[in-house]
Amino acid sequence: MNAEDPRRDAPPDLEKARAEAADLRREILRHAHLYYVEDRPEISDDAYDALFRRLQELERLRPELLTPDSPTQRVGGEPQERFETVPHTAPMLSLDSTQEPDEVRRFDDRIRKALGEEPPTYILEPKLDGASIELVYEAGVLVRAVTRGNGREGEDVTGNVRTIPTVPLRLRTEERPAPPFAAFRGEVMMYLSDFEAFNARLVETGQEPYASPRNSAAGSLRQLDSHITASRKLDVLVYDILALDGDGFATDTQGVEAMRQWGFRLPDRLAMATTVDEILAYHESFQADRDELDYEIDGVVIKLDDLGARAGMGMTSHHPRWALAYKFEPRKEITRIEKIAVSVGRTGVLTPVALLRPVVVGGVTISRASLHNREELRRKDIREGDTVRIQRAGDVIPQVVEVVHHDAKREPPFEMPSECPTCHTPVVEDGPRTVCPNRFGCPAQLKGRIVHFGAREALDIEGLGEETANLLVDRGLVHELADLFDLRPEQLMELEGFAEKSATNLVDAIAARKQPELRRFLFALGVPEVGTTVARDLATYFGNLEAIRSADAAALEMVSGIGPKMSDAITAFFADARNTAAIDAVLARGVEPRETEPVSEPQAPADAGAAVFTGTIPIPRSQAEEIWRSVGGRVVGAVSKKTNFVVAGENAGSKLEKAEKLGVTVLSFEEFARKVEALGGTVPSGTEDE
């Protein structure tokens, strides 16, 4: 059709258009793969753009042809209010890690013992330091992308991940058919060169730079407006098949090959090894090249290649037994301490902080390092003006390792102040820690509480970072957490860095969190000892805030994982009238934590029953026992009439006989797994992962 054609905007014949769109998509996806993944384009950028525009045109004229896997759908849709939390297909476990070659030897010994005759083959990979992600494909089409979150569930960031060019929207099927269902695990990376350029741009435009490429990748993934994600240069490298329906694989190597064929980009320099020496050599060669790479890695990963053998080894609740991360030495640099300052955190602890002459450590500029506490300062004898070695391991706050040089004439040892640098209350000493006891009147603690309240794992209030919290407190706009809910845009607009839009956004973001999930609200309150896991467990068990507030120590200890130390800290927190007043004030602003059905009556002991394990079961017995306890069960050694059931594996002997004689229920491992699941737990089968 030419430009003069009066019918040029009339919808083309549907079937013809469908065929043309399908051809275009195939071509575009092929060229995009060649360009982004394989780095060997076959056509010019202009020719590619022409194909792309033609497809956009067809889809505009015939919107019914639009499919979610169309390459035109990478550009990002409507901004979202927030991300939904969704469960992972299979738990995204962590890796056990070490820095010691001896640990690697022991790992190899354990594997050899488990395998018996067959000597192990390992697959070796770089340990990528980015943001972990799950990619789910149904019938070959990308349907979901989920951040790692807590390993069991994460945030649905599909719209954002779609914008990353190396993520196939549809698996390639030239060499291998797509499975009906598959979930992959990979790492979202920002290359160092892109990271530097991006940070430079942030600084130029007066914004906070990101601390590391990993933070930058994670932050880019969590943009509510996917156009912003699209504008960031990101890449996804996949390294694991989390779940797969259809033909399975015998080895990881086969899985790797399949992932490559399906169009993913994989980490570079994968290798195989059969001996510890080969593993050590691989580690050494990567460590030597580390600074030349354009991406951050923090070690190498050693994985048993044989998937059947992996299943036999199983996993702990934290990591698989068939893999090990062999980490690099943290990066170290030398710089000078310009000054030692003291910061006060949300719990009142005073932390000495070294203000450093800025130095680049592994691609990241460091200008502060925590000195932890007065004991540490004394032990390492660190003083202002000293030249020190600092190190940065992954994402953790940089540390001062040691003094490497100091002038003959040296500053006197640093003394912790006798009063809080912020509120001037005399400090108290609590072991090695120095604490400001003015919990309710110290502005620094309030600032810390505000940041914590809005943190991602808490109420997740976008825009409520450290700088804003400082301003809110210093300008007298917020005296307690509840005041956050009374903020008006006009007030915020008077603060530096706020314009009408950002002021309204923050007020809206706060208002949008008035019905938080109970676990988030509980964590947000900053109860001592209550991290995200305990908060979740308490919320699940009790179901509502009142029940938690009024629970005594005994009731709290009914929740698995809560011992006397925690229960004391929690009851003490809720017994303090000033805490309850602060909470009541928040509730009075209309905040209603969402209630859930309590999983068990708080009064009744959560006893799932006494179990005996016998025979060979697919996972280590200690792990099965641990799982049973985690869902409120008890584990006993001998079978009696009081035993609720016996889990019998292969070659079960006298205990099984006894159970049968006494009429005690006997469960197979599968039945046991179902029972655990009914109680809200999970049992790794070891086989479903691959």
b/e string for 9-45 if b means 16 or more Cβ within 10 A? eeebeeeebeebbeebbebbbebbbebbbeeeeeeee
Asked if residue 354 lies in contact with residue 383, where contact means CB atoms within 8 angstroms, the answer is no
Q: CA-CA distance, 322 to 361, in Å (whole number)?
A: 32
Q: CA-CA distance, 49 to 237, in Å (whole number)?
A: 25
Asked if residue 423 lies in contact with residue 443, where contact means CB atoms within 8 angstroms, the answer is yes
Our CB check for ligand IVH shows the closer of 256 and 377 to be 256
b/e string for 172-196 if b means 16 or more Cβ within 10 A? beeeeebbebbbbbbbbbbbbebbb
Measured CA angle at 674 (ends 642, 647), to 5 deg: 40
273 sits near ligand IVH (criterion: CB under 6 A)? no
Q: CA-CA distance, 202 to 215, in Å (whole number)?
A: 14
Our CB check for ligand IVH shows the closer of 127 and 265 to be 127
Our CB check for ligand IVH shows the closer of 244 and 325 to be 325
Among 120, 159, 312, 320, binds ligand IVH (CB under 6 A): 320
Number of residues that bind ligand IVH (CB under 6 A): 17
Single-letter amino acid code for the residue at 563: G
Q: In 3D, which of 72, 247, 120 has the Cα closest to residue 177?
A: 247
323 sits near ligand IVH (criterion: CB under 6 A)? yes
Give the CA count within 13 Å in the CB-facing half-sphere of 391: 10
Our CB check for ligand IVH shows the closer of 128 and 146 to be 128
Among 58, 95, 142, 535, binds ligand IVH (CB under 6 A): 95
DSSP SS3 for 666: strand
| Choices 122-130, 214-222, 469-477, 632-640; region in contact with ligand IVH by CB under 6 A | 122-130
Our CB check for ligand IVH shows the closer of 59 and 187 to be 187
CB of 323 to ligand IVH, least distance (A): 5
CB of 211 to ligand IVH, least distance (A): 18
CB of 561 to ligand IVH, least distance (A): 22
Asked if residue 52 lies in contact with residue 14, where contact means CB atoms within 8 angstroms, the answer is no
Q: In 3D, which of 70, 266, 236 has the Cα closest to residue 165?
A: 236
CB of 150 to ligand IVH, least distance (A): 12
Among 69, 108, 125, 384, binds ligand IVH (CB under 6 A): 125
Our CB check for ligand IVH shows the closer of 259 and 509 to be 259
132 sits near ligand IVH (criterion: CB under 6 A)? yes
CB of 239 to ligand IVH, least distance (A): 4
Among 56, 94, 287, 596, binds ligand IVH (CB under 6 A): 94
The residues near 379 (Cβ < 8 Å, ≥ 6 apart) are none
DSSP SS3 for 130: coil
Asked if residue 221 lies in contact with residue 667, where contact means CB atoms within 8 angstroms, the answer is no
| Choices 12-20, 27-35, 126-134, 471-479; region in contact with ligand IVH by CB under 6 A | 126-134
Cα 380–chain centre separation = 33
Label the pairing between strands 323-327 and 97-98. parallel
Binding mask 221-250 for ligand IVH (x = CB under 6 A): ------------------xx----------
Q: CA-CA distance, 682 to 674, in Å (whole number)?
A: 9
Q: In 3D, which of 141, 147, 152 has the Cα closest to residue 220?
A: 147
Single-letter amino acid code for the residue at 267: P
Among 111, 236, 301, 538, binds ligand IVH (CB under 6 A): 301
Binding mask 395-424 for ligand IVH (x = CB under 6 A): ------------------------------
Our CB check for ligand IVH shows the closer of 272 and 360 to be 272
CB of 240 to ligand IVH, least distance (A): 5
CB of 540 to ligand IVH, least distance (A): 24
| Active-site residue (options: 127, 303, 327, 447) | 127
Our CB check for ligand IVH shows the closer of 132 and 226 to be 132
| Choices 204-212, 320-328, 381-389, 590-598; region in contact with ligand IVH by CB under 6 A | 320-328
Cβ-closest residue to ligand IVH? 132
324 sits near ligand IVH (criterion: CB under 6 A)? no
Among 93, 236, 259, 364, binds ligand IVH (CB under 6 A): 93
16 catalytically annotated: no
CB of 126 to ligand IVH, least distance (A): 6
Among 128, 416, 451, 478, binds ligand IVH (CB under 6 A): 128
Distances in Å between the Cα of 6 and the Cα atoms of 1, 13, 40, 159, 252 are: 9, 16, 41, 37, 58
CB of 235 to ligand IVH, least distance (A): 13
| Structure token pair of residue 17 | 């258009």
| Choices 72-80, 123-131, 255-263, 467-475; region in contact with ligand IVH by CB under 6 A | 123-131
CB of 140 to ligand IVH, least distance (A): 23
Binding mask 152-191 for ligand IVH (x = CB under 6 A): ---------------------------------x-x----
| Choices 18-26, 92-100, 470-478, 503-511; region in contact with ligand IVH by CB under 6 A | 92-100
Q: In 3D, which of 186, 184, 188, 238 has the Cα closest to residue 215?
A: 188
Our CB check for ligand IVH shows the closer of 105 and 318 to be 318
127 sits near ligand IVH (criterion: CB under 6 A)? yes
DSSP letters spanning 332-356? EEEEEEEEEEEEE-TT-EEEEEEEE
CB of 155 to ligand IVH, least distance (A): 15
299 sits near ligand IVH (criterion: CB under 6 A)? no
Distances in Å between the Cα of 445 and the Cα atoms of 350, 481, 526 are: 10, 11, 11
Distances in Å between the Cα of 184 and the Cα atoms of 264, 275, 392, 456 are: 10, 28, 30, 25
Catalytic residue annotation: 127
The residues binding ligand IVH (CB under 6 A) are 93-95, 125, 127-128, 132, 148, 185, 187, 239-240, 267, 301, 320, 323, 325
